[in-house]
Amino acid sequence: MKKVELINVSKSYDKKNNVISNIHVCIEPGEFFVLVGPSGCGKSTMLRMIAGLEPISEGIVKIGNQEVNMLPPSKRDISMVFQNYALYPHLTVEENIVFGLHVKKISKKVRKERCNHVAKMLGLSRFLKRKPRELSGGQRQRVALARAIVNEAPICLMDEPLSNLDAKLRAHMRSEIKQIQRRLGITMIYVTHDQVEAMTMGDRIMILNEGKIQQIGSPLDIYNKPANPFVATFIGSPPMNLAEGIINHSTSEIVLSESCKLKIPDHDKINCDNIILGIRPEHIKHSVKEKGMLVEVTNVEILGNETVISFIFGEDEWLAKWYGQWRIKVGDVIPISIAYDSICLFNSNTEEVIKTPINIDNYVIDKEVLL
């Protein structure tokens, strides 16, 4: 196992505008590290710089304790899985898997042993004599993964490997890739634009936007304590609801509208006037008419074990996610409540986080549950 370290790494194609700006991160040995962000944010470029397929403009890339800026990809002791699989159509599955070993002049006996071992691990043993065109998308993905694993490199890079698969197969392959990474103990750096993949697979996540780090942390830390409004809305499905408001310092209230005001506890001091309030859909509660805010339902999605309700809140459309099957129709007026302890607050001017939920005991279940 080896660590990967990026020290103040930047990338520019025209020497004026950086597509990657001042990235500083250390990926620990054996870690499943996910780079996530919208299309064009620079995550694939960063992966290619680690691989040596793209030169860096500034900074240092280290693999283990060795600086690798000037090393070619073949000398970096890494393997890579591409989005389009990059299989040779004229070669069999077996030949595709061992192609890298053949280039390294590994003996036929060792190549055969490694191929059989990896093929058995990934359920490819009965497909070894087939050509890629005879395989399904999921099977081709496994061949690409097998080719990376068979090299026994301590670091594996993956560039959106599941984007071409259907939803059911993606869910299955997420679990399979994670189990293989744990079994082999390799350091894996995984690029995706899918926040569900990031949340379910990563030990840690780096969120990128416009080539800059927005936040690094564990999936739950990022979900519960987003660093800014971009992270808050990018991570989570449905995304966090946001609304602009002001702080009335004389009454110690957050004012979102005439009908929606939240009392600020005495122990909280907010030193700005304009804020962005955020709340997760599952933290909005159904209330009684006498105490709640009345909102008009614009859409209802019953998903079996939960219901997602859309409603107008001020000038925005918000979402609430409630457990169970709720008999609510479009056009209904329902009462909701928002608790101060469940909200996030961001400074409108700087977008820096002011407050995150401080009472999420209702949403986190410990290993020991009293019945």
Task: State the Cα angle at 203 between 58 and 65, rounded to 5°.
Answer: 40
Q: Is residue 335 a contact partner of residue 292, using CB atoms and an 8 Å limit? A: yes
Query: What are the tokens at 207?
Result: 């969120």
pLDDT by position in tens, the chain (length 371): 789 999 999 999 887 788 999 999 999 999 999 999 998 899 999 999 999 999 999 999 999 889 999 999 989 989 988 888 889 999 999 999 999 888 888 899 999 999 998 888 888 899 999 999 999 888 888 898 888 888 888 999 999 888 877 788 788 888 888 888 898 889 999 999 999 999 999 999 999 999 999 999 999 999 999 999 999 999 998 999 999 999 998 899 998 887 788 888 888 888 889 999 999 999 999 887 666 788 999 999 999 899 999 999 888 899 999 999 998 999 999 999 898 999 999 999 999 999 998 855 445 545 454 44
Q: What type of residue sits at position 280? A: R
Q: Is residue 30 a contact partner of residue 156, using CB atoms and an 8 Å limit? A: no
Q: Is residue 5 a contact partner of residue 26, using CB atoms and an 8 Å limit? A: yes
Distance CA 242, CA 232 (A): 9
Closest-CA residue to 180 (of 225, 98, 119, 255) = 119
Site of tokens 């080719």: 147
Tell me how crowded residue 95 is: count the other CB atoms within 10 A of its CB: 17
Q: Return the CATH number of the domain spanning residue range 286-337.
A: 2.40.50.140
pLDDT for residue 245: 92
- 306-313 sheet: strands from edge to edge: 285-286, 333-337, 293-302, 306-313, 316-323
pLDDT for residue 22: 93
Distance CA 204, CA 180 (A): 17
pLDDT for residue 370: 44
- 220 by Cβ neighbours in 10 Å (0-12 / 13-18 / 19+) ranks as exposed
What is the residue extent of each domain of the chain? 4-229, 237-284+338-371, 286-337
Distance CA 225, CA 355 (A): 8
- For 51, list phi and psi in degrees, rounded to 5: -75, -20
This prediction has a pTM of: 0.88
Distance CA 201, CA 17 (A): 32
Please check whether the domain covering 4-229 is classified as CATH 3.20.20.70: no
Give strand ranges (E) for 30-129.
32-36, 58-63, 66-67, 78-81
**Matching fold, domains 4-229 and 237-284+338-371:** no
Run of H or E including 195: helix 195-201
Cβ neighbours of residue 120 closer than 8 Å, sequence gap 6 or more: none
- 212-217 sheet: strands from edge to edge: 78-81, 155-159, 187-192, 32-36, 204-209, 212-217
Tell me how crowded residue 251 is: count the other CB atoms within 10 A of its CB: 10
Closest-CA residue to 275 (of 213, 202, 201, 353) = 353
> Residue 165: helix, strand or coil by DSSP?
coil
pLDDT for residue 4: 95
pLDDT for residue 45: 94
* Topology, domain 237-284+338-371: OB fold (Dihydrolipoamide Acetyltransferase, E2P) (2.40.50)
pLDDT for residue 362: 47
Task: Sort residue 236 into left (φ over 0), alpha (ψ -120 to 50) or beta.
Answer: left
Distance CA 107, CA 119 (A): 18
DSSP string covering 254-278 = EEEETTEEEEPPTT-----SEEEEE
Q: Is residue 128 a contact partner of residue 94, using CB atoms and an 8 Å limit? A: yes
